[in-house]
Amino acid sequence: MAASIRDPKSPVERGMDAVVSAEHRDPFGFLGMHEEEGGLAVRCMLPTAAAVSVVDAATGETVASLPRQRPEGLFAGRVERPARFPYRLVVEQGDGRVAEIEDPYRFPSTFGELDLHLFGEGTHLHVYRRLGAHMAMVEGVAGVAFAVWAPNARRVSVIGDFNGWDGRVHPMRLHPGVGVWEIFLPGLKPGSLYKYEILAGDGNLLPAKADPFGFAAEIPPKTASVVYDLQAFAWTDGAWMERRQAAVARDAPVSIYEVHLGSWRRVPEEENRPLTYRELADQLGAYVRDMGFTHVELLPIHEHPFSGSWGYQPIGLYAPTSRFGSPDDFRWFVSRLHEQGIGVIIDWVAGHFPTDAHGLFRFDGTHLYEHADPRQGLHKDWNTAIFNYGRNEVVNYLYSNALFWLDEYHVDGLRVDAVASMLYLDYSRQPGEWIPNRYGGNENLEAIEFLRRMNQLVYGEHPGAVTVAEESTAWPMVSRPVHLGGLGFGYKWNMGWMHDTLRYMSKDSIHRRYHHDDLTFGLLYAFHENFVLPLSHDEVVHGKRSIFGRMPGDRWQRFANLRAYYAFMFAQPGKKLLFMGAEFAQESEWNAEGSLEWHLLADPMHLGVQQCLRDLNRLYRDLPALHQQDCDAHGFSWIDCNDRDNSVISWLRRGADPEDVVVVVANFTPVVREGYRLGVPARGWYRELLNTDSTYYGGSDLGLGGGAPAEPVPWHGHPFSLSLRLPPLAALYLQPERR
């Protein structure tokens, strides 16, 4: 038999070797103060120290010097005391500087058993209060408690500017049941930069990882997380928070201004920099209020490494991007908009994440947040990773994140991006590139359950908030309650309406009679969901041209077409969303690296579109008939949807009061229609509320001269009718005067 080979080193020596090589499996069981045969021993890893001694924290008495045991900076020695006691370390650096510090390895765990249990079962709704980096007080000592989920790692260390980015200095304590690693670093202050250094289970050292729960981050392209105290901000939006639920109700006027903060307005005098959160709070807030929008919707403000993704490939789901300021600066932005009566909705990306080395992808060396099988875990369109909605800890991460923005930033809603890509296992995949569900279908059952639960949590925890789905298919009951079988969203973007009507408007007027159904088809399903009518950022990029750029005809006709289209939109059932710049007929496609073309407002025609949009918002807000039954079939009826030969379309909008009626008629040709007869439900004078052909908007000022009387001539199934002069490429709003 071969002789066995014994390691001549003692367990303590082997432990020292493991510490200096950053491979110790239980650093808290070895570093710090421990009872051993013959008394107490203290060990610490301080690579930059020249000498270390131990002092009694209560008396300040030096009780031991710790000899250097390894040249890499491991100090250890005996302490002549009969029992453990509170202590500190006095550290002398090579340059003679001396500091008295707390030893992180003398402090107990900061992560409770209940926290671990709830996180493991996916029900720790506010787990962001425990994972991540948090200012804490432990045994009377202030510092930062770090915790991160990495169940398959061999070792995890906090590295940062406070320890020379050296993973040997602060290896963390493992809670093996769930795989959470944690450590309390005494004396650490807000503003400290940090990451996690992770030794994978296979022994490979991974690229340093940003904190999945980090509350702040460095300005890209730098990638470190930043310790931030979220407890210090004083909110001033109490009045708004009490009434905000009514602002997003189905019977409320909801008009949303979609904004990319980095390109709304820039400062050319300062190297064309974007505005800060605080500058936007004043400038954007004042503009939105003046224009009459009720809400802003922000393209994702989560921290993201690539500006060209516009935020839709986030790395830091818990951190507002540092490009425009600090987390408290963003809170200031939200609070100031609320004070001005403006709601704040953010785009929320829970469908995928980028594969940047410092992010979530293969976080602990395994497919932790994403599916391992690329047929489920990789998004082909965007080369991104797809969350594993079947894993408790992953959905807990996302549930907690949804609540985080409502809890800590007072946002009023989440518009969930790319819902269709979450719902379908075969989304953008060919046969053989996807795995069916357990019933053989293409529905992602785990994602469906995730979305339903997310909506239940949002509305349960924050009844005043709203969720909106960007869902581009005919998936049923997206905006119906979960208990009725729906997904539970408050609203759904009406992508079909957007595509149909933009296609119609892009046609030359002489051809529109052949595409009339594009205007009317949406009403066949308009009340199947609670719809938002969006003209979003996706429609003004990638060669699609701006909304104004799609309008046909000569210059005058293009502006007239756009005004008529907006009036058509604002009188259709559904809440409204318009991407920035469209309100004044931006001519170029949106450029995320520049500013909107504000100089165009010096042109009366562009100014006229802006004035028209402002008045449309005012009428939409002020007239219950235009918003009260946006999501109810009782609020809409056609007068004539079949006049394709004249390209004229007309309908009624009604409020909850049966006598609250608005008549809408739109002429989508440049031909003036004299004596155009339109059926109406009641006698009396019909006052002209809006004429998009007004000279105030840049039109030719053809119209009704203030209104028209209803005549007892039955028409269009109504007992009365109006004889109208329809202006060219224009829409009219009329309202009967109350008797």
What domains are there in the chain, each with its CATH number?
11-102 (2.60.40.10), 113-226 (2.60.40.10), 238-624 (3.20.20.80), 632-736 (2.60.40.1180)
Residues with Cβ within 8 Å of 254's Cβ and at least 6 positions away in sequence, in order, are: 247, 248, 294, 295, 532, 575, 576, 627, 630
What residue has token string 């042109």? 603
Structure tokens at 719: 């007992």
Here the tokens at position 520 are: 């009317």
Pairwise CA distance, residues 260 & 596, whole Å: 10
User: 51-80: per-residue pLDDT in tens?
Assistant: 999 999 999 999 999 999 999 999 999 998
Q: Check 237, 303, 417, 518 and give the catalytic one.
A: 417
**Percentage above 90 pLDDT, the chain:** 92
Rounded distance, CA 492 to CA 432, Å? 31
Q: Which two tokens stand for residue 357?
A: 């080395």
- pLDDT at residue 39 above 90? no
- Nearest C-alpha neighbor of 604 from the set 535, 567, 555, 569: 555
Residue 607: how many CB atoms within 10 A of its CB?
A: 17
Token digits for 295? 């809400």
> Which pLDDT does position 739 carry in this prediction?
65
Instruction: Report how far Cα 710 is from the mean position of its chain's Cα atoms.
Output: 50
Going from the C-alpha of 192 to that of each of 215, 227, 287, the distances in angstroms are 12, 5, 37
What is the pTM assigned to this prediction?
A: 0.94
What DSSP character marks residue 727?
A: P
Residue-level pLDDT at 2: 43
| pLDDT beyond 70 at 1 | no
Measured between alpha carbons, how far is 365 from 372 in angstroms, rounded to an integer? 11
- Tokens (6 digits) for 674: 């004299």
Q: State the pairing for strand pair 575-579/531-535.
A: parallel
The per-residue pLDDT for range 151-188, each reduced to its tens digit, is 999 999 999 999 999 999 999 999 998 999 999 999 99
The pLDDT assigned to 6 comes to 55
As a whole number of angstroms, the distance between CA 542 and CA 442 comes to 30
Q: Residues of 149-188 as b/e, b for ≥16 C-beta within 10 angstroms? A: bbbbbbbbbbbbebbebbbbbbbbbbbeebbbbbbbbbeb
In which band, very low, low, confident or very high, does the pLDDT at 347 lie, cut at 50, 70 and 90?
A: very high
State yes or no: is 470 an active-site residue.
yes
% of the chain beyond a pLDDT of 70: 99
Backbone angles phi and psi of 351, in degrees to 5: -95, -20
User: Is the omega angle on the peptide bond into residue 253 within 30 degrees of 0, that is, cis?
Assistant: no
Question: Which residues touch 11 (CB under 8 Å, ≥6 apart)?
Answer: none
Alpha carbons 385 and 525: distance in angstroms, whole number: 34
Pairing mode, strands 343-348 and 413-416: parallel
C-alpha span between 221 and 210 (Å, rounded): 13
Picking from 186, 207, 211, 224, the residue whose alpha carbon sits closest to that of residue 132 is 211
Q: Which one, of 650, 660, 648, lies nearest residue 728 by Cα?
A: 648
Instruction: Give the confidence band of 7 by pLDDT, cuts at 50, 70, 90.
Output: low
Of residues 115, 166, 197, 470, which has the active-site annotation?
Answer: 470
Please confirm, yes or no, whether 102 is among the known catalytic residues.
no
Q: What pLDDT shows up at residue 430?
A: 92
pLDDT at position 4 = 45
- Give per-residue burial for 421-441: e unless 16+ CB within 10 Å, then b: bbbbbbbebeeeebeeeeeee
Per-residue pLDDT reduced to its tens digit, 261-289: 999 999 999 999 999 999 999 999 999 99
- pLDDT band for position 196 (cuts 50, 70, 90): very high
Mean pLDDT across the chain: 95
Q: How far apart are CA 585 and CA 599, in angstroms?
A: 11
pLDDT at residue 213 above 70? yes
DSSP track, 495-558 = HHHHHHHHHHHTS-GGGGGGGTHHHHGGGGSTTSS-EEEEE-GGGGSTTS--TGGG--SSHHHH
pLDDT for res 705: 85
On whether the CB atoms of residues 665 and 678 are closer than 8 A, the answer is yes
Handedness of CA 373, 376, 381, 384 (dihedral sign): negative
Question: Residue 739, exposed/middle/buried by CB under 10 A (0-12, 13-18, 19+)?
Answer: exposed
> Using 50, 70 and 90 to split pLDDT, how confident is the model at 81?
confident
List of residues 6+ apart from 491 with CB closer than 8 A: 466, 467, 468, 469, 479, 529, 530, 531, 532, 575
Which DSSP symbol is given to 174? E
Q: Which helix (H) or strand (E) holds 245?
A: helix 238-247
Q: Which residues fall within 8 angstroms of residue 392, CB to CB, at 6 or more apart?
A: 119, 120, 121, 122
The three-class DSSP label of residue 247 is: helix
